[in-house]
Amino acid sequence: MAAPAPAQAAGACGDRSLNSIKRYYPTKAGRIPLRCGFQNHAKNKGFGVRHLEARGRYNVWHQGMIGATLATPASIEREGTTFVYRSKYFTDCDPVYRYKVIVQTKRIGGTKLMRGVITAYKERRS
């Protein structure tokens, strides 16, 4: 099945601020915000919806994969202040891949607060 076309050229966030929350995905850990974020093309860095849009990874298919991976991850790994959520491998696809969502967290007074989705993408099996 082909992936749907990317979001409109104006972007899903329009003129919203960096902190504006675009969407939440339910998980066992609570709700994780997908913020509008930013994209710095010169440094090839960013996060959130704007970062995903710049890489062609913000459309209906990717939104569904982000939600499914966060809701029922095959694995969750902590790497410093980020959590990496991975889906199971899709072995009936060529190439074989799994979906990976990276979520930034921040500690405030001992309470873990989700800062949001940094990025998400297909990870091929090597």
Give me the phi and psi of 89, to 5 degrees please: -75, 140
Contacts of residue 68, defined as CB under 8 A and 6 or more positions apart, other chains included, come to: 87, 99
**Phi/psi zone of residue 3: left (φ > 0), alpha (ψ -120 to 50 degrees), beta?**
beta
Q: What is the pLDDT of residue 124?
A: 93
Q: pLDDT digits over 34-55, tens only?
A: 888 888 877 778 889 989 999 9
Using the predicted structure, report yes or no on whether residue 1 has a pLDDT greater than 70: no
pLDDT digits (tens, 9 = 90+) for 71-126: 899 999 998 889 999 999 999 989 999 999 999 887 666 666 668 899 999 999 97
| pLDDT value at residue 43 | 78
Structure-model confidence comparison of residues 1 and 98, the more confident one? 98
DSSP-derived 3-state class of residue 79: strand
Q: Which DSSP state fits 5?
A: P
Helix (H, G, I), strand (E, B) or coil at 41: coil
